[in-house]
Amino acid sequence: MKRIGFIGLGTMGLPMARHLIQAGYPLTVYNRTANKSESLRALGATIAASPAEVARASEIVFTMLTADQAVKEVILGETGVMNGAAAGLVVVDCSTISPKTSQLLAEELAKKGVEMLDAPVTGSEPQAIEGILTFMAGGKQEVFEECRTLFDVMGKKAFYMGKSGAGSYTKLANNTMTSINLLSLSESIVMAVKSGIDPELFVEVVSGGGARSGMVDTKAPKMFNRDFHANFATVLMHKDLGLAMDVAADLQLPVPMLALAKQMLQLSITKGYGQEDMSAVVKCYEEWAGIEVKKSNK
């Protein structure tokens, strides 16, 4: 059984790492905030003092971090994975970052004989906890196949998308669609409630027709339960949309819906909802409409 490393034990990384150790894999972990590692230590994980130490102890290292700079620092920094890596190591980055960054990191790691997959995920905290994430991977297909069993431990599906960067491109296109669907839900549910319609009944109707979506399934209940605990924070989705805008610019692709979605999330952040779940954007629409989306009292 391969020795696994995991770097980044936040909202997503911690449950992902927990699934690996519960499946019996020898696990070495690192997190900048050390106390987040303690629950895994109790399960038998080894706590490393640096990403380089994780690399020295592992055959495959997963990273799940918040932004490009954090991934660069963890992999290429003074105490990064690169400094502890030996030829044959595999690095699997599950962060949502620029495809250019994914490709740069893969090129740098290759200089030491280290393979890399960019393998971001769809799903947020509940799916990570349940182990039903979907992985989309870019890199060498044989490396993807080597890691497939591990993807299956943490998720329900894994797709090979193509060469280095393909996973990151796929994730940004996915998050573009996700954010646009979130806005369509927000506008529509506020319209329904303003008209006197029960939001729960509205969602039941929508879920049976062509307007159904993952956002309806996962975010509508948060809206009418007034539960804006961050399964996926507004600031993180806004960051992802900025990366998607960069991709669109590189491709010389007009993206008016993406641009509007990014602006709406910026408005939500400006109003103080940045650390709340991205579904908190509905509160902007509620303010304009002078109503609140919530369960009926019947």
* pLDDT reading at 35 higher than 90: no
Domains along the sequence of the chain with CATH: 4-163 (3.40.50.720), 169-289 (1.10.1040.10)
Residue 171: active-site member: yes
Q: pTM (2 decimals)?
A: 0.95
* pLDDT reading at 17 higher than 90: yes
Residue 141: other Cβ atoms inside 10 A: 12
89 neighbors 114 (Cβ within 8 angstroms):
yes
User: Stretch 68-74: mean pLDDT, rounded?
Assistant: 97
What pLDDT is recorded for position 282? 98
What pLDDT is recorded for position 298? 58
Out of 163, 171, 262, 298, pick the active-site residue: 171
Confidence of residue 28 (pLDDT cuts 50, 70, 90): very high
pLDDT in tens, 217-234: 999 999 999 999 999 999
Extract the tokens encoding 259.
């641009």
pLDDT in tens, 241-271: 999 999 999 999 999 999 999 999 999 999 9
Confidence of residue 296 (pLDDT cuts 50, 70, 90): confident
- Cα separations in angstroms, 163 against 68, 73, 170, 246, 251: 19, 23, 12, 20, 18
What pLDDT is recorded for position 1? 87
